[in-house]
């Protein structure tokens, strides 16, 4: 069955192209369908409100459509200073300057020719092995890692913030855990089994130096929540068919 939103068909080619953007999802096809359905719902709403015409539809970005709809339909509150200060104290590790982590990893890279489930199964098997026998980390890295560091047992050396993928660093610099992390780390490059050997803590900047950054972060989080709720309301009133999605309401990606 073709994927459609209120009678507007989303062709299979668009779904196939979108799947490539969601290879790290548990179900890439369902994630792609959710993203496309969400965008179509937003575009239809914009057209209904005469914020978008057929003439400029193809030339208007998704972000511009969301901005126009929010100006018309949704108000997102700016965070207060008290909320920003609370976030600063609760997430101090995000703002320390000079943090370093000595780590090793075993990479299972994503490949267009290999099913995601196969790569994930291999990565989980390796994680189970090194959790059961931590001393095997180097040998598993040498035999299984898709990263050149595998030749040296997966050693990445001492890493500073800003030296790697943001999603990888988010895990590395979060908390005080040492040893093999109990879960796989999923990044744009694939699945990682990660071991942290040493942490060097930096210094905390004054709140005033990061206040604007925190305010922007909290505002974007609130805006994302509002957008998910807005799309859920549109989906609840829409006729959506052909979606292979067990998670319910489409989500904006």
Task: Report the alpha-carbon angle 134-142-155, nearest 5.
Answer: 70
Query: What pLDDT does residue 19 have?
Result: 86
pTM attached to this predicted model: 0.63
pLDDT at 246: 47
Cα–Cα distance for residue pair 87/72, rounded to 1 Å = 30
Rounded mean pLDDT for each run of 10 residues along the chain, 253 residues in total: 87 86 80 92 92 72 90 93 96 83 93 86 94 95 94 92 81 86 89 93 91 96 95 94 60 44
For residues 49 and 69, give the distance between their C-alpha atoms in angstroms, rounded to a whole number: 9
At 187 the pLDDT is 87
Q: Which stretches of 74-161 are DSSP H helices? A: 81-90, 116-132, 137-144
> In angstroms, rounded to a whole number, what is the distance separating the alpha carbons of residues 204 and 102?
20
**Looking at residue 155, what is its pLDDT?**
95
Q: What is the pLDDT of residue 99?
A: 84
Per-residue pLDDT at 114: 83
Residue 197: in which H helix or E strand, if any? strand 190-200
DSSP-based three-state secondary structure for 214: helix
Residue 56 has a pLDDT of: 63
Tell me, what's the pLDDT at 1? 62
Question: In this structure, are residues 178 and 194 in contact, taking their beta carbons and an 8 Å threshold?
Answer: no
CA separation for the pair 55, 251 (Å, rounded) = 27
* Structural domains of the chain, with CATH: 3-79+212-241 (no CATH), 96-200 (3.10.50.40)
The burial of 236, by beta-carbon neighbours within 10 Å (0-12 exposed, 13-18 middle, 19 or more buried), is given as exposed
How far, in Å, CA of 172 to CA of 167, rounded? 9
Question: From CA 235, how far away is CA 247, in angstroms rounded?
Answer: 13
């Amino acid at each position: 069955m073709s994927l459609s939103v209120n009678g507007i068909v989303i062709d299979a080619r668009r779904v196939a192209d979108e799947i490539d953007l969601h290879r790290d999802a548990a179900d890439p096809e369902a994630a792609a369908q959710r993203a496309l359905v969400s965008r179509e719902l937003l575009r239809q709403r914009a057209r209904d409100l005469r914020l978008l015409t057929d003439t400029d539809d193809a030339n208007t970005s998704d972000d511009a459509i969301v901005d126009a709809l929010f100006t018309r339909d949704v108000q997102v509150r700016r965070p207060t200073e008290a909320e920003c200060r609370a976030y600063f104290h609760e997430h101090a590790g995000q703002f320390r300057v000079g943090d370093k982590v000595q780590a090793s990893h075993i990479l299972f890279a994503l490949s267009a020719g290999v099913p995601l489930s196969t790569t994930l199964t291999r990565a989980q098997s390796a994680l189970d092995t090194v959790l059961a026998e931590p001393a095997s980390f180097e040998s598993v890295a040498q035999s299984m890692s898709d990263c050149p560091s595998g030749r040296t047992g997966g050693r990445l050396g001492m890493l500073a913030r800003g030296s790697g993928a943001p999603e990888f660093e988010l895990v590395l610099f979060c908390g005080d855990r040492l040893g093999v992390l109990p879960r796989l780390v999923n990044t744009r490059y694939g699945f990682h089994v990660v071991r942290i050997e040493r942490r060097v803590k930096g210094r905390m900047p004054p709140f005033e130096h990061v206040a604007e950054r925190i305010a922007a972060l909290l505002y974007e989080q609130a805006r994302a929540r509002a957008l998910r709720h807005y799309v859920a309301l549109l989906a609840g009133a829409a006729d959506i068919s052909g979606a292979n999605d067990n998670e319910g309401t489409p989500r904006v990606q």
